[in-house]
């Protein structure tokens, strides 16, 4: 068969990896290719279970994309930012606070960070169907087939194996989580491309070098394509911030609120933040590629009490079962409030906001 010619787009060149010695998080590395067989899943399940309990984060390798395919994704990821005019971006900006959805652009300076400083990052979000109830800027039109393939790869080849392993970790039927993460069902699982821009020295001082405050993701599973600009930190079990190291062509996977709720607190939605990169990466942009997974909109986020593990270990609830929100209610509440609502300062580190049903969501400086 003749080779497929892909649309020509500019090549995105990231900063070189940092040479600084940072305090790195010691995260497990999971070879997801081994999840292709029942025997492989049985062997991997304890590793993934323990990773999600202890860290809430782990790496995935051998996920089905070669380095050249990942490089192409980062080229595509930069297109919504470098190849679309500011005027066109505004036309495709999402009405985030009103709709509780991130579809389209989140423009720069939408979120308040600290001391009057607003964010210097923009992102573009595509519903996983790519074209369902969503139009896109002209520069992305030739890339829509590749974007659909990217969404399907993440959903079926990465997300589903992870969900099966997490179900096995709870001693549940392995399709328990897969069955409530439908690709064609009503829900907001989406692809996100994000670009951080350098800030002024004054902005860095006023925010204590924090670009995005410590938070948890509100979905079930987040898939991040590893990239070389060091800025992501996680709050480790010993309450120290540690950097997430770049591993070429690896994925960084973490649990969000939805998975913590469904697992009765067994799996951790770990707090993470984005900070100023090391000095040898200063002045560079930072492009990211993500897949944010959520259960179907109508799933009620109550603990899976039938799990033998939860029956032995006990259940931690954020809501009484009768007050638990659906995925749609939780994502809309978190999305509408983030970076827009007034935070109550608890101490020098923690700020709190009260959202759905009086639940307190914490943000960390």
Q: Which residue has the higher pLDDT, 307 or 114?
A: 307
Q: List, in sequence order, every residue forming a beta bridge with 289; answer none if it has no partner.
A: 193
Q: What pLDDT, on a 0 to 100 scale, did the predictor assign at position 130?
A: 97
**% the chain with pLDDT above 90:** 84
Fold of 29-364: Jelly Rolls (2.60.120)
pTM to 2 decimal places: 0.94
Which strands form 251-255's sheet, in the order they lie side by side? 29-31, 57-61, 251-255, 221-225, 286-293, 190-196, 121-127, 104-106
Residue 313 has pLDDT above 60, yes or no: yes
Q: What is the Cα–Cα distance from 194 to 180, expressed in whole angstroms? A: 27
Q: Around Cβ 318, how many Cβ atoms within 10 Å?
A: 19
Going from N- to C-terminal start, the domains of the chain cover 29-364
Q: What pLDDT, on a 0 to 100 scale, did the predictor assign at position 166?
A: 98
Q: 124-128, 197-201, 331-335: which has the minimum mean pLDDT?
A: 331-335
Kindly report the average pLDDT of the chain as a whole number.
92
What would the mean pLDDT of 51-56 be, rounded to a whole number? Answer: 95
Q: Parallel, antiparallel, or unpaired: how do β-strands 251-255 and 360-364 relate?
A: unpaired
CA distances from residue 14 to 6, 20, 207, 223 in whole angstroms, order as listed: 21, 17, 25, 19
Q: Give Cβ neighbours of residue 222 (< 8 Å, ≥ 6 apart).
A: 253, 254, 255, 256, 290, 291, 292, 293
Tens-digit pLDDT profile for residues 13-24:
999 999 999 999
What would the mean pLDDT of 273-292 be, rounded to a whole number? Answer: 96
Q: What pLDDT, on a 0 to 100 scale, did the predictor assign at position 365?
A: 55
pLDDT level of residue 303 (50, 70, 90 thresholds): very high
Q: What is the Cα–Cα distance from 246 to 70, expressed in whole angstroms? A: 14
Residue 278 has pLDDT above 80, yes or no: yes
Q: 104-113, 252-261, 295-304, 329-338: which has the minimum mean pLDDT?
A: 329-338
Tens-digit pLDDT profile for residues 176-228:
999 999 999 999 999 999 999 999 999 999 999 999 999 999 999 999 999 99
Q: Parallel, antiparallel, or unpaired: how do β-strands 241-243 and 112-114 relate?
A: unpaired
Contacts 24+ apart (CB under 8 A), 115-118: 115/206, 115/207, 116/206, 117/199, 117/203, 117/206, 117/207
Q: What pLDDT, on a 0 to 100 scale, did the predictor assign at position 255?
A: 97
């Amino acid at each position: 068969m003749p080779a497929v010619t892909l649309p020509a787009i500019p090549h995105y060149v990231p900063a070189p990896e940092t040479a600084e010695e940072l305090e790195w998080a010691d995260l497990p590395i999971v070879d997801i290719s081994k999840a292709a067989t029942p025997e492989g899943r049985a062997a991997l399940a304890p590793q993934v279970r323990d990773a999600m309990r202890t860290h809430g984060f782990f790496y995935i390798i051998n996920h089905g994309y070669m380095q050249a395919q990942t490089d192409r994704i980062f080229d595509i990821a930069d297109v919504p930012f470098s190849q679309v005019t500011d005027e066109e971006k505004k036309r495709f900006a999402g009405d985030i606070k009103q709709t509780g959805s991130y579809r389209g652009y989140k423009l720069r300076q939408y979120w308040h960070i600290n001391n009057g400083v607003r964010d210097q990052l923009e992102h573009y979000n595509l519903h996983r169907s790519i074209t369902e109830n969503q139009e896109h800027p002209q520069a992305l039109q030739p890339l829509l087939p590749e974007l659909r393939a990217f969404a399907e790869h993440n959903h079926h080849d990465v997300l589903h194996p992870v969900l099966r392993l997490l179900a096995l970790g709870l001693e549940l039927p392995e399709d328990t989580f897969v069955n409530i993460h439908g690709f064609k069902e009503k829900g907001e699982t989406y692809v996100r491309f994000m670009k951080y821009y350098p800030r002024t020295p004054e902005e860095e001082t006023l925010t204590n070098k924090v670009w995005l405050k410590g938070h948890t993701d509100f979905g079930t599973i987040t898939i991040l394509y590893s990239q070389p600009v060091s800025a992501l930190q996680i709050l480790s079990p010993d309450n120290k911030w540690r950097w997430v190291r770049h591993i070429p062509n690896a994925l960084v996977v973490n649990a969000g609120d939805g998975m913590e709720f469904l697992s009765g607190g067994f799996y951790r939605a770990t707090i993470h933040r984005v900070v100023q990169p090391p000095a040898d990466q200063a002045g560079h942009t930072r492009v990211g590629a993500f897949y944010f997974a959520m259960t179907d909109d109508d799933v009620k986020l109550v603990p899976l009490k039938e799990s033998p593990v939860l029956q032995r270990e006990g259940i931690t609830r954020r809501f009484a079962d009768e007050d638990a929100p659906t995925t749609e209610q939780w994502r809309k509440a978190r999305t509408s409030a983030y970076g827009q609502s007034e935070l109550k300062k608890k101490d020098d580190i923690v700020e709190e906001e009260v959202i759905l049903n009086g639940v307190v969501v914490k943000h960390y400086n």
